[in-house]
Amino acid sequence: MEPWDGVINLLAATGVAGFALHVLLPVRRNRLPSLLEIRFGVLALLLALFMASRGLFWISGFDAFFAISFLAVCFVPLGILLAVEGLLRRHAPLFLKLFALLGAFVCLITTLLMAPTSSMVYSTFLASFQILGLLLPFSWAFLRDRTQLSRRENRRISGMITLTLIGVPLIATDFSDLVAGLPVRLGALAILMFAYAAVHSARFPRQNPVFSWRVFNLILTTLIAAAAFIWLTDLSGWEAFFRLTALIFTVGLVLTLALELLNLRDQSEERALLRVLGALDMRRPEAVVSRLTRFSPFEHARLVRPGAGPVPADFRLEVGHVYRREGATITATERDAAAVLESIGADLIFVLDPQTQTFCAVEVQDANANTADWAKVLAALAKAHVGKTDD
C-alpha cells in the first residue's frame, strides 16, 4: 500500500509547492509578496515539505524523511490559523492562537519523545490536533456575524466550510491506526484540493471552486479512465479501482492546477492588462469589468451605478481620481465615496465611464497590492477612450 501512498503524496507535493512558489515569488507583479501571500505561501511550503518527506519515506523507507514529515506537520494548525486570520483581515481569538501555538510545541515534544511510534495513543493525539487545527479556525470564521463581512469574505467563508466538510474525512484516512481497510491514504488529495481552490478562486472569484464544472468533469473523467484501465488489463477488485482512481485524479488535479497558475502568471501583467483593455470599448463597462476580473489585483472588481442598491442616484465622482474607504483628506465628495464604499463592502472606487457615471469598485486584500496605482491607469485610460470618441 505504501508505494501508492508515496507516489500520490509526491505528486500532491509538487502541485502545492508550485502554488507556494507562485505566491511567494514576484513573477506576476512588480512588487514583493504581501503579508497575506506570505502566510499562504509559507503554509503551502510547510504542507509541501510534509507531503514530500512522507512520500519519500513510504517509497524509500529512509527514517530521516519520516522524522521530517512529523516535525513539519506539528506547525500546520498554526499556519492554517494565520492564513484564515489574514484572509478575513481580523484578529483571531486569543484561545485559538494559544491552542495552535502551544499545541504545536506539545505536538513537537511528544513527537520527539515518542520517536514517533505507531501507538494508538500517539495516533489519536496527532489526528485530534490536526483535525481540530483545521476545524476551529474555520468554525470561528463561519460563526462570525456575516452581516459585518463583505461579500467576498462571505463567499470565502462558504468555500472554506465546503472544503472542510470534504477535506476532514480525507485527512482522517491518513491515520491508518484509526481508519483501517482503505487501500490508499487520501490526505494529500485534500491538501491539493485546498491549493486548487485558492487558485481557482483567484481566477474566477464568483465561482465555487469545489462545485465547478471543471471539477465535476475531472471526477467523471477519472472514474471512466480508472474503469477503462481495469477493463483493459488483468487488474480486478475494488482496491485496484480505488488506487487507480486516486492516482488519476491526483495527476489530473496537479495538471489543472499548473494550467491555472500559468494563466494567472500570463494574465496578471500590467502590460498585458493595458493591451487587452486598449482594444475594448470603455462605453461597454460590463465587458471591461469582465476582463478586469481576470487580472490581479482586480479579481473582485465589479460595476457600480448611481441609483443601484445602496448607491444614491445623485452619486458623482471626479474622473481620474481614485477614492478610498479611508481617504487622507476628507472633502464632501470623499465622505460620500467612503460611505458608499462602506455600504458595498469595497475598498476603493473610480470612474470607469464618465458619460454614464459608471464606476468600478475594487475590494483590496491589503494596502501593498498597488491596486490604487493600477486604478489610476485604468481611470486615465477610460478618460482617454472617451476623449477619442468625442473627437
Residues 6+ positions from 138 with CB-CB distance below 8 Å: 84, 160, 161, 164
Amino acid in the structure at residue 205: P
Q: How far is CA 4 from CA 7, 116, 185, 209, 272, in A?
A: 5, 22, 9, 27, 42
Same domain for 240 and 367: no
Separation CA 45–CA 71 (nearest Å): 13
**Whole domain around residue 28: which residue ranges?**
2-267
Same domain for 347 and 227: no
Average pLDDT over residues 276-284: 76
| Domain end marker among 251, 267, 283 | 267
Q: How far is CA 134 from CA 267, 282, 334, in A?
A: 32, 45, 41
Please list, residue by residue across 39-59, b when 16 or more beta carbons sit within 10 angstroms of its beta carbon and e when fewer do.
Answer: bbbbbbbbbbbbbbbbbbbbb
Confidence category of residue 178, pLDDT binned at 50, 70, 90: low
Give pLDDT, residue 44.
Answer: 92
Same domain for 178 and 82: yes
Query: CB atoms < 10 A from the CB of 214, how many?
Result: 14
Same domain for 230 and 280: no
| Domain end marker among 267, 300, 328 | 267
Same domain for 354 and 366: yes
Same domain for 291 and 254: no
Q: E strands along the chain, which residues?
A: 302-304, 323-324, 348-353, 358-362
Same domain for 293 and 263: no
Confidence category of residue 180, pLDDT binned at 50, 70, 90: low
Confidence category of residue 142, pLDDT binned at 50, 70, 90: confident
Same domain for 130 and 68: yes
Query: Residue 321 in 3-state DSSP?
Result: coil
208 or 281, which is more confident? 281
Give pLDDT, residue 179.
Answer: 58
Same domain for 219 and 301: no
Which residue do the cell numbers 485604468 mark?
A: 378
Strand partners, 323: 349
Average pLDDT over residues 81-94: 84
Instruction: Give the range among 27-31, 130-134, 155-159, 350-354 with minimum mean pLDDT.
Output: 27-31
Same domain for 135 and 258: yes
CATH number for the domain spanning 162: value is 1.20.1070
Query: Residue 311 in 3-state DSSP?
Result: coil
Q: How far is CA 254 from CA 86, 246, 283, 352, in A?
A: 26, 12, 40, 38
Give pLDDT, residue 324.
Answer: 84
Same domain for 95 and 227: yes
Give pLDDT, residue 204.
Answer: 62
Separation CA 111–CA 309 (nearest Å): 55
Residues 6+ positions from 303 with CB-CB distance below 8 Å: 285, 286, 289, 352, 358, 359, 360, 361
Confidence category of residue 206, pLDDT binned at 50, 70, 90: low
Share of the chain above pLDDT 90, in %: 7
Separation CA 67–CA 114 (nearest Å): 11
Give pLDDT, residue 4.
Answer: 80
Q: Output the pTM of the full model.
A: 0.67
Query: CB atoms < 10 A from the CB of 148, how many?
Result: 10
Confidence category of residue 351, pLDDT binned at 50, 70, 90: confident
Query: Residue 90 in 3-state DSSP?
Result: coil
Instruction: Give the range among 54-58, 259-263, 293-297, 300-304 with minimum mean pLDDT.
Output: 293-297
Separation CA 338–CA 55 (nearest Å): 51
Please list, residue by residue across 121-131, b when 16 or more beta carbons sit within 10 angstroms of its beta carbon and e when fewer do.
Answer: ebbebbbebbb
Confidence category of residue 50, pLDDT binned at 50, 70, 90: very high
77 or 3, which is more confident? 77
Q: Are residues 215 and 209 in contact, defined by beta-carbon separation less than 8 angstroms?
A: yes
For residue range 3-32, list pLDDT tens digits in order: 788 889 999 999 999 889 888 886 555 557
Query: Residue 198 in 3-state DSSP?
Result: helix
Give pLDDT, residue 9.
Answer: 92
Give pLDDT, residue 113.
Answer: 76
Give pLDDT, residue 166.
Answer: 81
Give pLDDT, residue 115.
Answer: 57
Give pLDDT, residue 48.
Answer: 93
Confidence category of residue 253, pLDDT binned at 50, 70, 90: confident
| Domain end marker among 267, 298, 325 | 267
Same domain for 378 and 314: yes
Q: Are residues 346 and 150 in contact, defined by beta-carbon separation less than 8 angstroms?
A: yes
What total number of domains does the chain contain?
Answer: 2
How many residues does this entry show for the chain? 391
